[in-house]
Structure 1
Amino acid sequence: MNITSAKFVMSNSDIKKCPIDNKAEYAFIGRSNVGKSSLINMLTNHKGLAKISTKPGKTQLVNHFLINDQWYLVDLPGYGFAKVAKNTKQRFSKLIFSFIESRPNLINLFVLVDCRHEPQTKDVDFMEWLGVNGIPFSIIFTKADKLSKQKLSENVKAYEKELLNSWEEMPPFFISSASSGLGKEEILNSIDETNKTVLLQKRK
């Protein structure tokens, strides 16, 4: 898939005000400072689409972007060690889970994980919650350019070992680098193929 247009639509702190139509949504979420904004900008060929900040927790709203006038890319607030007040963190959590649970057109949730670190409890617990609640998701290991191929492989296998304590098989995953563009084609092709499947199902 080639992205020819990426338009900002709206930011919301109220799920009820998010776009209401039949376009598919693909949401991106991860611990603060995981490289989410950089990845979104890389995927969309738009350096300034998602705002990048050195301060964790910059994204505080649900941001919708219309891609190729066909589907929505949704930038969700990060979770984890965001340097924000306790009541703000609670608002983040409520907003995130409300969105995930209430959006009928949410086709897939991309959970971003920094490949440089060992499996983090917050990430693993979040994925287990998604599984229990039947939320379709994929993992994107970010910042792959920061590691050697051997170390990257070791860290991904460590995640696989951890997740297989609860899962029968490893959830779908991608390896990415916002700097080099690694993973871009695979991620976008996955969305494209899923969109085609969803369209066929609607026609039946």
Structure 2
Amino acid sequence: MKITSAEFVISAVRPDQYPIDALPEIALAGRSNVGKSSLINRMINRKNLARTSSQPGKTQQLNYYRINEQVYFIDFPGYGYAKVSKTEREAWGKMIERYLRDRDELKLVLLIIDIRHAPSKDDCLMYEWLKHFEIPTCIVVTKSDKIPKSQWDKQIKLVKTTLQADPRDTIIRYSSETGEGRDQLWGHIMQTIGERGSKTDDSHSNAEDAGTIAE
């Protein structure tokens, strides 16, 4: 995917603040500090466009990034950070739920999971919610550079088992450090927004070498 333009557009908290140009939207969900902003920066080949922070819970809005004038990435607030107040967590939850339930432009949610750990209770709840409402989902297992290659299959299996993952959902192994999985993830995104999520046999060829895990 050649990136010709990428820009931060708005931090939204209400539907009346969402962009109105009807471009397809790809949302990124995951626990605090899982690396959503780093993933965005690697996907668009920019170092600091998406706001990264060592302080969990910093993202408190839906951050919109417009890519190539053809798609938005939306960085969600991270969940599961204990130091965020109950009131803030409830407000974030309502904001995200309203967006996911009502936003027609939403075409795909990337559920970001750290390969080093089993999915958390919050990860499982998010996945269950997405499946219940039949929202297209891609599981992105990130930080693959942090563990030996010999452990990849074991950890991917742990993710699948813990989430009770739907075998129809694509799982992509990813690293924001090395760029592993970037091309496969862009391919899946463009296929989803261009072909309404249909899959071809070629999309899963050489899956193990490419970083895409499929049943």
Q: Partners of 1:128 and 1:113 in 2: how far apart?
A: 14
Is the CA contact (8 Å cut-off) linking 1:37 and 1:50 kept in structure 2? yes
Which residue of structure 2 lines up, in the alignment, with residue 201 of structure 1?
none
Rounded Cα–Cα distance in structure 2 between residues aligned with 1:93 and 1:39: 22
Identity across the alignment (%) = 39
Q: Which residue of 2 aligns with 1:202?
A: none
Give, in whole Å, the separation in 1 of the partners of 2:67 and 2:26.
Answer: 10
Structure 2: unaligned runs, 5 residues or longer: 197-215
> Aligned partners of 1:168 and 1:113: how far apart in 2?
15
Instruction: Identify which of 176, 191, 194 aligns with 1:193.
Output: 191
Deviation at 1:173, TM superposition (A): 1.1
Q: State the Cα distance separating 1:152 from its structure 2 match.
A: 2.0
- Verify the 8 A CA contact 1:119 1:159 in the aligned structure 2: yes
Asked whether the 8 Å contact 2:118–2:162 carries over to 1, the reply is no
Return 5+ residue gaps in structure 1 as ranges.
Answer: 199-204
Q: TM-score, normalised by structure 2?
A: 0.86
Q: Does 1:182 align with 2:185?
A: no
d(CA) in 2 for partners of 1:82, 1:193: 37
* Bigger Cα displacement from structure 2, 75-84 vs 129-138: 75-84
Aligned positions, number: 198
2:61 corresponds to: 61
Measured at CA, do residues 77 and 168 of structure 1 come closer, stay the same or move farther in structure 2, by a change above 3 Å?
closer
- Alignment partner, residue 160 of structure 2: 160
Structure 1 residue runs of 4 or more that deviate by more than 6 Å after TM superposition: none
Contact 1:29 1:78 in 2 (8 A): yes
Q: Write out per-residue CA displacement over residues 175-195 of structure 1, whole angstroms, 9 at most, x where no aligned residue.
A: 111110111111111112223
Q: Distance in 1 between matches of 2:113 and 2:31?
A: 7
What is the TM-score of this pair, normalised by structure 1? 0.91
